[in-house]
């Protein structure tokens, strides 16, 4: 029971860190929906849930596959999000502009596809987390992720009506995502070896 608040806090951090870029995508999708009716809002909500569910399922399966890795070496998996964070930080430093890639998604499957394509980094972060925390905390983490998707969709819908907010998220998102990945990697390494 005492680990539950820590598990929830970690799950919130992991979800937020791996999905900051989704706020931009969702905002653009909701802007598109308001402007031309495509995709429909329910396509965005359902597609986001389907995409995140697919990423979580792949991550859980990968974590189960990693059960053959000796526990003493599992902490090394923290190097994956750490490396992604460092790479993202280097990319952010080298980039001259903060332009987000345009989002082209129409319909439920298009939104789910964008979510999955945008979530390859999620798998590399979720897998070591699920491998190290056990069954109960994993289920709680997945429940937090489900709530997180609803919060993200609601935030995307709200932000989609405020173009100035989009500029702020695009400006600082490239720094926030790498920082969170580095933090997650250090957390995994710290829990395993300290």
> Could you state, in order of their start, the residue ranges of all structural domains in the chain?
3-193
Res 1: pLDDT = 41
Q: How confident is the model at residue 115 (pLDDT cuts 50, 70, 90)?
A: confident
| pTM value surpassing 0.85 | no
First-residue to last-residue Cα distance in the chain: 22
Contacts 24+ apart (CB under 8 A), 32-37: 32/103, 33/160, 34/160, 34/161
Q: How far apart are CA 159 and CA 106, in angstroms?
A: 19
Q: How far apart are CA 78 and CA 55, in angstroms?
A: 18
**Tokens 């995409």 belong to which residue?**
51
SS3 labels along the chain: CCHHHHHHHHHHHHHHHHHHHHHHHHHHHHHHHHHHCCCCHHHHHHHHHHHHHHHHHHHHHHHHHHHHCCHHHHHHHHHHHHHHHHHHHHHHHHCCCCCCCCCCCCHHHHHHHHHHHCCHHHHHHHHHHHHHHCHHHHHHHHHHHHHHHHHHHHHHHHHCCCHHHHHHHHHHHHHHHHHHHHHHHHHHHHHHHC
Q: What is the pLDDT of residues 93-110, one digit of tens each?
A: 887 655 444 444 568 888
Res 101: pLDDT = 42
Res 77: pLDDT = 65
Q: What is the pLDDT of residues 11-62, one digit of tens each?
A: 999 999 888 878 877 887 887 787 778 889 999 999 999 999 999 998 998 8
Q: How far apart are CA 194 and CA 179, in angstroms?
A: 21
Q: How far apart are CA 194 and CA 189, in angstroms?
A: 8
**What mean pLDDT comes out for the span 141-148?**
96
Q: How confident is the model at residue 116 (pLDDT cuts 50, 70, 90)?
A: confident
Q: Quote the mean pLDDT of the chain.
A: 80
């Amino acid at each position: 029971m005492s680990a539950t608040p820590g598990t929830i806090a970690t799950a919130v951090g992991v979800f937020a860190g791996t999905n900051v870029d989704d706020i931009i995508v969702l905002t653009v999708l909701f802007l598109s929906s308001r402007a031309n009716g495509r995709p429909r809002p329910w396509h965005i909500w359902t597609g986001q849930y389907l995409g995140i569910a697919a990423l979580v399922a792949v991550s859980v399966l990968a974590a189960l596959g990693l059960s053959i890795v000796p526990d003493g070496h599992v902490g090394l998996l923290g190097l994956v999000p750490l490396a992604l964070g460092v790479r993202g930080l280097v990319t952010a430093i080298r980039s001259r502009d903060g332009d987000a890639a345009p989002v082209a998604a129409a319909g439920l499957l298009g939104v789910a596809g964008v979510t999955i394509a945008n979530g390859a980094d999620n798998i590399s972060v979720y897998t070591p987390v699920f491998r190290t925390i056990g069954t109960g905390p994993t289920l709680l983490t997945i429940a937090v992720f489900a709530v997180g998707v609803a919060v993200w969709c609601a935030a995307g819908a709200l932000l989609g009506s405020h173009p100035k907010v989009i500029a702020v998220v695009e400006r600082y998102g490239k720094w926030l995502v790498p920082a969170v990945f580095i933090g997650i990697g250090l957390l995994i390494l710290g829990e395993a070896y300290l």
